[in-house]
Amino acid sequence: MRLTDSHCHLDFPQFEGELPDLIDRAAKAGVHRMVTICTKLRQASQVRAIADAHAPVFWAAGTHPMSAADEPMASVDELVALADHPKMVGIGETGLDYHYTADSKDVQQQSLRIHIEAARRTGLPLIIHARDADEDMATILRDEHRAGAYSCVMHCFSSGRALAEAALELGFYLSMSGIAAFPKSDELRAIFADAPLDRILVETDAPYLAPPPYRGKRNEPAFVAHTAAKGAEVFAITEAEFAAATEANFERLFWKTVADAPPG
């Protein structure tokens, strides 16, 4: 059984000095591939270096919405240039976060639209972070999709049913994190259960949001196996079937991990 951690942050200080061991533990857990996400473009070179140094690791780059007001505004050309790297496979994470940073929502929305245009131009999937901004997020995703199609994953999806349905209607994907395995996440699991299996990914968001039995501890890519086990339960299929489905979904969306040519 093989799994992909579709979203982690291997450049974060919690992992300093132990990436070879971490990647080895992931492999032993069946996690053969991972995407490490750059959240501030000035750190892109460090994140790219991790992917260059480790065969199972790919990377993506963008400006996290919580940093949008504090970082230089990304340009479409800058994001497109980063995508020339053979292991750069996604645009983001970007999005909207009104939980702590609602005061910067105008800047966040501007940044999000720039990232969407970069996703269009490159054909790479957009990686969305959404928190406490469901209505604005759905509106922007729909408006921009009407202006020109792009692909997208709702990373660490934990929003409401309306945003899930909006994303799925646009052909987007929902990514299941450790939150979906928390005991009190029945409503979230119900949202996933009603989604098509061919639109589901799994991730850790490591070092955050470790699933049971590691909840409250530092998360790492190996632990995505526990979230996948819960995903199999949600969809009432075997763990092997869930793993095979999410692998196919990941490779369809993150096409550059298997071939350096546009999808289709």
pLDDT digits (tens, 9 = 90+) for 14-55: 999 999 999 999 999 999 999 999 999 999 999 999 999 999
Q: What is the pTM of this model?
A: 0.96
Query: Annotated binding residue at 9?
Result: yes
The one-letter code for the residue type at 165 is: E
Mean pLDDT value across residues 161-168 = 98
Q: Can you give the pLDDT at residue 260? A: 54
Beta strands 126-131; 88-97: pairing state: parallel
Q: Counting every residue, how long is the chain? A: 264
Q: Report the mean per-residue pLDDT for the chain.
A: 97
H/E stretch holding 127 reads strand 126-131
Q: Does residue 263 carry a pLDDT above 70?
A: no
7 annotated among ligand-binding-site residues:
yes
Q: How far apart are CA 31 and CA 28, in angstroms?
A: 7
Q: Report how far residue 135's alpha carbon sits from residue 132's, in angstroms, rounded to the nearest whole number.
A: 9
What is the assigned CATH class of domain 3-257? Answer: alpha beta
SS3 45: helix
Answer positive or negative: Cα dihedral of 9, 11, 12, 13.
Answer: positive
Peptide bond into 207 cis (omega under 30): yes
b/e per residue, 120-134, with b = 16+ CB within 10 A?
bbbbbbbbbbbbebb
Q: What span, in angstroms and rounded, lies between the C-alpha atoms of 125 and 256? A: 10
129 annotated as belonging to a binding site for a ligand = yes
Please name the helix (run of DSSP H) or strand (run of DSSP E) that holds residue 243, with its range, or none: helix 239-253
Q: Which two tokens stand for residue 244?
A: 């095979």
